[in-house]
């Protein structure tokens, strides 16, 4: 063996429990840890500012950890400085251009794609082996329309998700220069392909079925390895590839506007912070033991911590601090802890290994007399992730409704104005708009808040396609992981996995249970800061003099509600019932696949 080896990082931005990295180290003389800033992801239409910053921070952290081990991260991109300054000036940008944080030009020429960079790099470095993490092909592309407007995504039968095409191209590039390619599974505990195989060739479609399958399979396939103490150094001047720039840029240099002040409080990217957060959570033994997902509070906010002085244990630091109900992110605001772990962004980028998390959880659970169980326990949350990965891997056209066998075919309405109102936090429902504002500024929402806004956009109120929701979440969430994001949208829209469409979240009653004084809404929608508690979730009901006193006139300072929730949700239930009946009519008599459109003549 021996020779020069490349470890190509995409997700998996960590040194601990990194199978691709370990495979690269085996017998290598020089190891080039490589990250390519893919222009596909440098577009605010595809990746929002908060996630781009999280990524760049994660890269800096990885670089620092590598440098402490006599190595370094080689970050290559094809953007010459002139291209970047062009980006900063902004320009077009389609429908996204008006959004905060989305003022960047749509680029037609996008140099520096991995399939351009890799052949040059492998050749220049005389690489004998390249290792990268195997990745499920579920990348979501921008929304597209058919001329008749009936479908939401292209109907090309052989349309290949982005990651699949990228990785295939990488393999070919390596083969062309006789470079061996190794692609172990590192992102999940189980190889999704093995789960599918163990279930007779198709993914399990219920959580309990999934649990049975992995029980049969035994433990996770891969052991959990520590970070290597030292790495073979990369070739000197490995970065010097003509035609490409190198180094980790600032988000501003990539054309992103300065960070929103509220965004600054949320998450700091990188493996170092991920492990720190993990330990902080595991130290709260009783909290872990009692963790019961549906009981966690969606209105708790992320702790405002300084990006330069992160407390080693935010939960200790938060002790004694009171929840602020003031408007806006005031300086010196008390620390607020999320009611969940907030580790999802770290799992998405692989700053934290799910297998390390699971192993530590299992150890802790063994030491406890009693603890909660899947699906609602913390371990249960990690297993949901595995479940969705198996479904995503085994479902062609997973990212869209048409041609997706697990998705019910629903005749969603389409109204650009409604979608835009939802996306831009202008629905007139404070709970929905506050949650969407948290998403837009911080890149994170509690799971139950996601339920509410997803139900609202789809089956609950607006009856718009879940694909529109996927698109927005995919851009704005720090933790946007297509397999999980799409799976949850299928769930919430009652298109797959969950079918009790008559259980609709009320944008008024639901948040009241957790936060009757509306502190969460007041924080994210300062315009409503002075609205009396009684009207905080339905300000349109406040008498005009109350609105005046609160300095917030509905219809002027804050939108009037774009739908009547009671009327809309009832009408939508009826539509869903008809769509289900059409499905039953089409499949009841031994019908085949789900290609046929929902029929209008469905029986009641």
Partner DNA sequence: TCCGACGTTGGAGCG
Partner DNA sequence: CCGCTCCAACGTCGG
User: What minimum distance in Å lies between the beta carbon of 347 and DNA?
Assistant: 14
What is the per-residue burial (b if ≥16 Cβ within 10 Å, else e) of 529-555? bebeeebbbbbeebeeebbeebebebe
Measured from the CB atom, is 83 or 456 closer to DNA? Answer: 456
User: What minimum distance in Å lies between the beta carbon of 362 and DNA?
Assistant: 18
Q: Are 168 and 356 in contact (CB under 8 A)?
A: no
Measure Cα distances from 478 to 55, 332, 558, 564 in Å: 9, 25, 28, 32
User: What minimum distance in Å lies between the beta carbon of 65 and DNA?
Assistant: 32
Of the candidates 525, 501, 347, the one whose C-alpha atom is nearest the C-alpha of residue 428 is 525
User: What minimum distance in Å lies between the beta carbon of 121 and DNA?
Assistant: 40
Q: Which residues bind DNA (CB under 7 A)?
A: 205-209, 212, 293-294, 375-376, 380-381, 384, 447-448, 451, 491, 498-506, 509-510, 513, 570, 573-574, 577, 580, 583-584
Q: Cα–Cα distance between 392 and 61 in angstroms, integer? A: 30
The two structure tokens encoding residue 120? 């040059």
User: What minimum distance in Å lies between the beta carbon of 103 and DNA?
Assistant: 35
Measured from the CB atom, is 165 or 289 closer to DNA? Answer: 289
Measured from the CB atom, is 66 or 406 closer to DNA? Answer: 406
User: What minimum distance in Å lies between the beta carbon of 518 and DNA?
Assistant: 15
Measure Cα distances from 179 to 1, 14, 496, 561 in Å: 12, 24, 42, 59
Cis peptide leading into residue 375 (ω within 30°): yes
Of the candidates 348, 37, 359, the one whose C-alpha atom is nearest the C-alpha of residue 187 is 348
Measured from the CB atom, is 4 or 339 closer to DNA? Answer: 339
Measure Cα distances from 412 to 415, 457, 474 in Å: 10, 11, 20
User: What minimum distance in Å lies between the beta carbon of 497 and DNA?
Assistant: 7
Of the candidates 383, 28, 59, the one whose C-alpha atom is nearest the C-alpha of residue 232 is 28
Measured from the CB atom, is 106 or 573 closer to DNA? Answer: 573
The two structure tokens encoding residue 173? 């590039």
Measured from the CB atom, is 83 or 510 closer to DNA? Answer: 510
Q: Is the dihedral of CA 156, 158, 163, 169 positive or negative?
A: negative
Measured from the CB atom, is 281 or 450 closer to DNA? Answer: 450
The two structure tokens encoding residue 115? 């399939």
Q: Cα–Cα distance between 270 and 268 in angstroms, integer? A: 7
User: What minimum distance in Å lies between the beta carbon of 506 and DNA?
Assistant: 4
Measured from the CB atom, is 114 or 403 closer to DNA? Answer: 403
User: What minimum distance in Å lies between the beta carbon of 212 and DNA?
Assistant: 7
Q: Are 483 and 445 in contact (CB under 8 A)?
A: no
Q: Cα–Cα distance between 426 and 413 in angstroms, integer? A: 19
Measured from the CB atom, is 600 or 603 closer to DNA? Answer: 603
User: What minimum distance in Å lies between the beta carbon of 431 and DNA?
Assistant: 10
φ/ψ (deg, to 5) at 33:
-75, 115
User: What minimum distance in Å lies between the beta carbon of 408 and DNA?
Assistant: 8
CB atoms within 10 A of CB 453: 30
Measured from the CB atom, is 159 or 491 closer to DNA? Answer: 491
Q: Are 260 and 101 in contact (CB under 8 A)?
A: yes
Q: What is the number of residues in the chain?
A: 604
Q: Cα–Cα distance between 572 and 412 in angstroms, integer? A: 10
Measured from the CB atom, is 24 or 579 closer to DNA? Answer: 579
Strands 245-246 and 127-131, by their bridges, are unpaired
User: What minimum distance in Å lies between the beta carbon of 289 and DNA?
Assistant: 16
Q: Where are the alpha helices (DSSP H) in 370-446?
A: 378-394, 416-423, 430-442
The two structure tokens encoding residue 553? 């006139």
Measured from the CB atom, is 84 or 581 closer to DNA? Answer: 581
Contacts of 171 (CB under 8 A, 6+ apart): 181
């Amino acid at each position: 063996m021996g020779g020069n080896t490349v470890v190509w990082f995409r997700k998996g931005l960590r040194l601990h429990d990194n199978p691709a990295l370990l495979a690269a180290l085996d017998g290598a003389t020089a190891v080039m840890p490589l990250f390519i800033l893919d222009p596909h992801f440098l577009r605010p239409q595809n990746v929002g500012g908060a996630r781009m910053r999280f990524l760049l921070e994660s890269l800096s952290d990885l670089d620092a950890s590598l440098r402490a081990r006599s190595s370094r991260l080689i970050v290559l991109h094809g953007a010459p400085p002139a291209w970047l300054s062009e980006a900063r000036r902004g320009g077009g940008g389609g429908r996204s251009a008006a959004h905060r944080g989305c003022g960047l030009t749509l680029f037609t020429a996008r140099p520096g794609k991995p399939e351009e960079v890799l052949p040059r790099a492998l050749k220049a470095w005389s690489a004998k082996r390249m290792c990268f993490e195997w990745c499920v092909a579920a990348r979501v592309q921008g929304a597209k329309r058919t001329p008749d407007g009936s479908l939401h995504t292209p109907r090309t039968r052989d349309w290949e998700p982005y990651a699949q095409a990228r990785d295939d191209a990488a393999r070919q590039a390596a083969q062309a220069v006789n470079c061996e390619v190794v692609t172990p599974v590192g992102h999940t505990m189980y190889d999704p392909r093995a789960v599918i195989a163990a279930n007779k060739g198709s993914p399990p479609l219920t959580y309990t079925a999934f649990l049975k399958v992995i029980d049969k399979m035994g433990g996770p396939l891969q052991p959990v390895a520590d970070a290597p103490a030292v790495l073979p150094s990369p070739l000197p001047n490995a970065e010097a590839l003509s035609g490409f720039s190198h180094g980790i840029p600032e988000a501003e240099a990539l054309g992103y506007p300065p960070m929103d002040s509220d965004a600054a409080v949320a998450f700091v990217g990188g493996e170092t912070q991920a492990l720190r957060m993990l330990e902080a959570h595991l130290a709260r033994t009783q909290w872990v033991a009692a963790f019961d997902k549906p009981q966690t509070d969606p209105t708790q906010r992320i702790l405002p911590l300084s990006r330069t002085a992160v407390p080693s244990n935010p939960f200790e630091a938060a002790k004694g601090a009171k929840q602020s109900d003031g408007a806006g992110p005031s300086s010196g605001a008390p620390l607020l802890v999320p009611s969940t772990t907030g580790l999802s962004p770290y799992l998405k980028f692989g700053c934290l290994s799910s297998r390390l998390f699971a192993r530590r959880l299992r150890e802790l659970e063994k030491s406890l007399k009693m603890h909660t169980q899947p699906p609602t326990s913390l371990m249960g949350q990690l297993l949901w992730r595995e479940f969705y990965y198996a479904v995503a891997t085994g479902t062609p056209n997973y990212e869209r409704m048409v041609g997706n066998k697990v998705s019910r075919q629903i005749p969603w309405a389409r109204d650009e104005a409604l979608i835009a109102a939802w996306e831009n936090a202008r629905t007139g429902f404070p709970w929905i708009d506050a949650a969407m504002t948290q998403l837009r500024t911080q890149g994170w929402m509690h799971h139950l808040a996601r339920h509410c806004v997803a139900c609202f956009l789809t089956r609950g109120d607006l009856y718009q396609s879940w694909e529109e929701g996927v698109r927005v979440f995919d851009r704005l969430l720090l933790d946007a992981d297509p397999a999980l994001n799409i799976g949850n949208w299928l769930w919430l829209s009652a298109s797959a996995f969950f079918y009790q469409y008559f259980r609709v979240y009320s944008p008024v009653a639901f948040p009241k249970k957790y936060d009757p004084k509306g502190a969460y809404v007041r924080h994210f929608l300062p315009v409503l800061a002075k609205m009396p508690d009684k009207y905080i979730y339905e300000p349109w009901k406040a008498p005009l003099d109350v609105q005046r006193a609160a300095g917030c006139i509905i219809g002027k300072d804050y939108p009037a509600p774009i739908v009547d929730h009671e009327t809309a949700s009832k009408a939508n239930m009826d539509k869903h019932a008809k769509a289900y009946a059409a499905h039953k009519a089409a499949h009841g008599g031994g019908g085949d696949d789900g290609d046929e459109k929902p029929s209008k003549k469905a029986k009641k």
